[in-house]
Structure 1
Amino acid sequence: MSYTRVTLQQHPKTTIEPSTFKDETVPIPTKDDLKDGDYLIKVKLVSLDPTLRGQMSGQKSYIEPVKLGDVMRAWGLGEVVESKNPEYKVGDIVSGVVGFSEYAIGHNQDHRKIPNIPGIPLEDNLGVLGLTGLTAWWGINGVAGGIKSGETVLVSGAAGATGSVAGQLAKIAGAKVIGIAGGKDKCDFITKELGFDVALDYKSADFKKDFKEATKGGVDVYYDNVGGEILDMALMAANDFARFIMCGGISQYNLDKPQPLYNVLQVVPKRIKMQGFIVMDHGDRFPEIIKDLAGLISQGKLKAKTHLIEGPVTGLPNALKSLFEGANTGKMIYKLDSKL
Structure 2
Amino acid sequence: MRSTQIQLVSRPTGWPTEENFRTVETELPELGDGQVRVANDFLSVDPYMRGRMNDVRSYVPPFALNETMTGGAVGRVVESRSDEHPVGSVVVHQLGWRDVAQADASQFRVVREIDGVPTSAYLGILGMTALTAYVGLQDVARMQEGDTVFVSGAAGAVGSAVGQIARILGAGRVIGSAGSPEKVDLLTGKYGFDAAFDYKQSPVRDQLREAAPDGIDVYFDNVGGDHLEAALDAFNDGGRTALCGAISAYNTVGTTPGPDNMSNIVTRGLTLQGFTVGNYLHRFPQFAEDMGTWLSEGRVTFDETIVHGIENTVEAFLGMLRGENTGKMVVSVGNSR
Deviation at 1:207, TM superposition (A): 4.7
Query: 1:35-184 residue pairs with structure 2 within 5 A?
Result: 35-148=32-145, 150-175=146-171, 176-184=173-181
CA distance in 2, matches of 1:110, 1:338: 19
One-letter code aligned to 2:158: T
What residue identity is the alignment partner of 2:104? H
Q: By how many angstroms is 1:295 displaced?
A: 0.5
Cα distance in 2 for partners of 1:276, 1:209 equals 25
Question: Percent of pairs identical after alignment?
Answer: 37
Q: Is the 8 A contact 1:5 1:314 kept in 2?
A: no
Q: Which of 222, 225, 229 is residue 228 of structure 1 equivalent to?
A: 225
Range with bigger deviation, 207-216 or 322-331: 207-216
Q: Using structure 1 for the length normalisation, give the TM-score.
A: 0.94
Deviation at 1:121, TM superposition (A): 2.1
Per-residue CA distance 1:266-298 (angstroms, 9 max, x = gap)? 211111111111112222221221110110111
**Partners in 2 of 1:62 and 1:48 — Cα distance?**
18
Letter in 2 for 1:304: F
> 3-state SS of the aligned residue for 2:249?
coil
For residues 302 and 257 of structure 1, the distance between their equivalents in structure 2, rounded to whole angstroms, comes to 40
The offset of 1:147, in angstroms, is 2.8
Preserved CA contact (<8 Å) 2:70 2:95: yes
Cα offset, 1:201, TM superposition: 0.6
Give RMSD over aligned pairs.
Answer: 1.5
Q: Which moved more, 1:204-213 or 1:265-274?
A: 204-213
Residue 290 (structure 1) aligned with residue 288 (structure 2)? yes
Unaligned 5+ runs, structure 2:
none
- Report which stretch shifted further, 277-286 or 288-297: 277-286
For the 8 Å contact 1:147–1:170, the answer to whether it is kept is no
What corresponds to 1:302 in structure 2? 300
| Structure 2 residue 269 is matched with structure 1 residue 271 | yes
Instruction: Letter of the 2:269 partner, please give it.
Output: R
The aligned length equals 335
Structure 1 counterpart of 2:230, which letter?
A: M
Q: Which residue of 2 aligns with 1:190?
A: 187
CA distance in 2, matches of 1:328, 1:147: 30
State how 1:198-237 maps to structure 2 within 5 Å.
Answer: 198-205=195-202, 207-237=204-234
Deviation string 1:119-153 (CA, Å, 9 cap, x unpaired) is 322111111011111100011111122331x2110
Amino acid at match of 2:100: Y
Gaps of 5+ in 1: none
Deviation at 1:305, TM superposition (A): 1.1
Q: Is the 8 A contact 2:40 2:335 kept in 1?
A: no
One of 299, 305, 318 as aligned partner of 2:315: 318
User: 1:253 is matched with which residue?
Assistant: 250
What one-letter code is carried by the residue in structure 1 that aligns with 2:170?
Answer: G
Question: Is the deviation greater in 172-181 or in 34-43?
Answer: 34-43
